[in-house]
Structure 1
Amino acid sequence: MNFALSSDQENIQHHLTALLKDICTPEYVQRCDEQQKPPQEAFDALAKNGWLGLIAPESLGGAGGSATDLAVMLDVLGYHFEELGLWVFRNLTYGCYAVMKHGTKEQIETLVPKVITGEMSFCFGLTEPDSGSDASALTTKATKHGDEYVLNGRKVYTSGMDISDYCLLVARTSNLERKQQGITTFLVDTKLPGIEVKKLQTLGQRAIGTTEVLYSDVHIPASSILGKLDHGWTGADDYLCYERLCLSAARTGAARSAFDIALEYAKTRVQFGKPIGKFQAVSHKLAEMKSMLDIAQTMVYRYAWLMEQGKNTRQDAAILKLYTSESYKSISDMCLQILGGYGYCMEYPMQRFFRDSRLATIGGGTSEIQKNIIASSLGL
Structure 2
Amino acid sequence: MSQFDQTAEQDALRRSVRSFFTRFDREYVRECDRTPRPPVEAFTAMGDLGWLGINCPEQYGGGGGSATDVAVLLEELGAGFLDLALWVFRVLSHGVHALDGYGTEEQKQRFLPDIAAGRLSVCFALTEPEAGSDAAALTTTARRSGDGWEISGQKVFCSGFKVSDYVMVATRTSKGDRKQAGITTFFVPTTTPGLEARPLEMLGHRPLGTTLLTFDGAHVPDDLRIGPVDGGWAILTKMLEYERLCLSAARTGAAQSVLDDTLDYVKQRKQFGQPIGNFQAVAHKLADMAVLVEVARTQVYRYAHRLDAGTADTRDAAILKLVAGEAYKKVADLGVQAMGGYGYSMEYDAQRHFRDSRLGTIGGGSSEIQRNIIARTLGLRPS
Determine if the TM-score, normalized by the shorter chain, exceeds 0.5: yes
How far is the alpha carbon of 1:314 from its aligned partner? 0.6
Q: Map 1:189-204 onto structure 2 (within 5 A).
A: 189-204=189-204
How far is the alpha carbon of 1:17 from its aligned partner? 1.1
Q: Map 1:169-188 onto structure 2 (within 5 A).
A: 169-188=169-188
1:170 maps to a residue whose letter is A
Distance 1:102 1:355 in 2: 35
Distance 1:129 1:75 in 2: 31
Matched, 1:85 2:85: yes
Cα contact 2:161–2:209 (8 A) shared by 1: no
How far is the alpha carbon of 1:292 from its aligned partner? 1.1
Matched, 1:130 2:130: yes
Partner of 2:12: 11
2:20 maps to a residue whose letter is L
Residues 170-228 of structure 1 deviation map (CA, whole Å, 9 limit, x = unaligned): 00000111000000000111101011001110001011121000000101111111011
Q: Map 1:1-380 onto structure 2 (within 5 A).
A: 2-22=3-23, 24-380=24-380
Q: How many residues align?
A: 379
Distance 2:295 2:175 in 1: 43
Residues 241-273 of structure 1 deviation map (CA, whole Å, 9 limit, x = unaligned): 000000000000000001101000111111001
Distance 2:213 2:262 in 1: 39
Distance 1:145 1:294 in 2: 52
How far is the alpha carbon of 1:12 from its aligned partner? 0.4
Aligned-partner SS, 1:344: coil
Distance 1:235 1:120 in 2: 21
Distance 1:345 1:87 in 2: 26
Pairwise CA RMSD:
0.7
2:19 maps to a residue whose letter is A
How far is the alpha carbon of 1:20 from its aligned partner? 2.0
How far is the alpha carbon of 1:147 from its aligned partner? 1.6
2:279 maps to a residue whose letter is F
1:306 maps to a residue whose letter is R
Cα contact 2:162–2:209 (8 A) shared by 1: no
Aligned-partner SS, 1:168: strand
How far is the alpha carbon of 1:57 from its aligned partner? 1.1
Aligned-partner SS, 2:179: coil
Q: Which runs of 4+ in 1 moved over 4 A?
A: none
Distance 2:22 2:65 in 1: 23
Structure 2 residues not aligned, in runs of 5+: none
1:60 maps to a residue whose letter is Y
Aligned-partner SS, 1:177: coil
Residues 261-318 of structure 1 deviation map (CA, whole Å, 9 limit, x = unaligned): 1000111111001100100001111111111111110110000000011000111000
Distance 1:208 1:325 in 2: 20
Distance 1:80 1:349 in 2: 11
TM-score (norm 1): 0.99
Distance 1:210 1:162 in 2: 8
Aligned residues: percent identity?
50
Distance 2:21 2:98 in 1: 27
1:260 maps to a residue whose letter is D
Cα contact 2:47–2:116 (8 A) shared by 1: yes
1:111 maps to a residue whose letter is F
How far is the alpha carbon of 1:10 from its aligned partner? 0.3
Aligned-partner SS, 1:360: helix
Aligned-partner SS, 1:2: coil
How far is the alpha carbon of 1:332 from its aligned partner? 0.2
Aligned-partner SS, 2:74: helix
